[in-house]
């Protein structure tokens, strides 16, 4: 955790997370003078902090927030804000911003990439060749095409909508589940995720992680998806009941999965390591130089707008 200070701006507290803390520190250093929490003057400065920057998924609890009686703004370095105690922010009247569209295109690309990899068996074929199995076993299991498949998108927000547009280009039929029906999209809407799964060949999970969406993809949904169904998760690990998903995959009760996020990161269920119908990555869908540059603009832009009494770039609505 780091605070920053300049002659012209009040303090900003930096709530560190191992994944992005160094990058965010570097960005803040270009605009502010950093003050480390172990500085002797730190206890005397917390009351002056009006803005707080959160890097990555490190939890920002009510206890953390109460350390700063003058706090007015929390700037998050990600799209999801489930790691922030929004109830405490709402109670205090603290505004919250997220990464806006900084990650949208890259995460959508990655979700489609995972789906292609699972259905076309790209990673499995790579392992087959590298293991020297091609000359020994000439026949490799058939893969599946994308065109004509029915894909259900769980969460048709910014990322979900971009995923839908990309899959339309492959000739996929798109349907979705979301908190509310979107009147200006041509896709079929299902109010119930199990109904969406029943009518889909794959589910792409990219909704917000909340108390209401915890384990949204559960045993009933996986059963409805069926033996040939595929789950892609680029949202948060807690959206999927991981134990049930592992059980279904190991027992061959669903067709495959592409996972970028997990319930207990960085720990990934070892049962998945030997499955050729599962593609795993390390919460890296957002990580490109382009998305990091866009994120820097949003984080710094929100802070500068706040201190200049201008509209924030990506303020969220706290319900």
Residues of the chain where predicted confidence (pLDDT) is lower than 70 = 1-12, 14-23, 32-37, 39, 56
- Scanning the structure block, which residue is given the tokens 């960005």? 27
Distance CA 36, CA 100 (A): 28
Q: Are 200 and 177 in contact (CB under 8 A)?
A: no
Q: Characterise 315 by phi-psi region: left (phi > 0), alpha (psi -120 to 50), beta (else).
A: beta
Look at residue 159 in the predicted model and tell me its pLDDT: 96
180 a catalytic residue: no
Look at residue 53 in the predicted model and tell me its pLDDT: 87
Q: Indicate yes or no: pTM above 0.85.
A: yes
Catalytic residue among 16, 83, 121, 236: 236
According to CATH, where is 3.40.50.720 located in the chain? 2-102+289-307, 104-280
How does strand 2-5 pair with strand 12-15? antiparallel
Written as six digits, the tokens of 45 are 């400065």
Look at residue 200 in the predicted model and tell me its pLDDT: 98
- Scanning the structure block, which residue is given the tokens 């004509």? 148
Look at residue 23 in the predicted model and tell me its pLDDT: 63
- Decide yes or no: CATH 3.40.50.280 for domain 104-280: no
Catalytic residue among 265, 271, 290, 304: 265
Q: Are 189 and 175 in contact (CB under 8 A)?
A: yes
Query: Which residues touch 40 (CB under 8 Å, ≥6 apart)?
Result: none
Look at residue 138 in the predicted model and tell me its pLDDT: 79
Look at residue 36 in the predicted model and tell me its pLDDT: 61
236 a catalytic residue: yes
Distance CA 77, CA 264 (A): 20
Please name the fold of domain 2-102+289-307.
Rossmann fold (3.40.50)
Look at residue 77 in the predicted model and tell me its pLDDT: 87
């Amino acid at each position: 955790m780091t605070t920053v200070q300049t002659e012209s701006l009040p303090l900003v507290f930096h709530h560190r997370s191992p994944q992005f803390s160094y990058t965010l520190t570097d960005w803040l250093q270009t605009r502010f003078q950093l003050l480390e929490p172990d500085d002797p003057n730190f206890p005397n400065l917390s009351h002056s902090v009006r803005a707080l920057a959160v890097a990555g998924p490190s939890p920002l609890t009510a206890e953390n927030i109460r350390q700063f009686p003058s706090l007015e703004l929390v700037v998050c370095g990600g799209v999801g804000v489930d790691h922030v105690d929004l109830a405490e922010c709402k109670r205090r009247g603290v505004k919250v911003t997220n990464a806006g569209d900084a990650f949208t295109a890259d995460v959508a690309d990655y979700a489609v990439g995972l789906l292609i990899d699972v259905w076309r068996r790209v990673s499995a074929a790579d392992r087959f060749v590298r293991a020297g199995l091609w000359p020994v076993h000439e026949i490799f299991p058939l893969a599946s095409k994308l065109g004509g498949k029915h894909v259900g998108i769980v969460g048709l927000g910014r990322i979900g909508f971009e995923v839908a547009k990309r899959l339309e280009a492959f000739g996929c039929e798109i349907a979705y589940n979301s908190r509310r029906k979107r009147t200006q999209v041509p896709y079929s809407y299902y109010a119930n995720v199990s109904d969406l799964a029943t009518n889909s060949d794959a589910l792409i999970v990219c909704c917000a992680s909340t108390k209401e969406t915890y384990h949204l993809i559960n045993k009933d949904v996986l059963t409805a998806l069926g033996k040939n169904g595929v789950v892609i998760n680029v949202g948060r690990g807690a959206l999927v009941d991981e134990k049930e998903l592992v059980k279904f995959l190991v027992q061959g009760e669903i067709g495959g999965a592409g996972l970028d996020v997990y319930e207990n990161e960085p720990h990934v269920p070892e049962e998945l390591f030997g499955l050729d119908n599962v593609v795993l990555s390390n919460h890296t869908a957002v990580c490109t130089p382009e998305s990091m540059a866009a994120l820097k603009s949003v984080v710094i832009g929100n802070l500068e707008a706040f201190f200049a009494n201008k509209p924030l770039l990506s303020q969220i609505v706290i319900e």
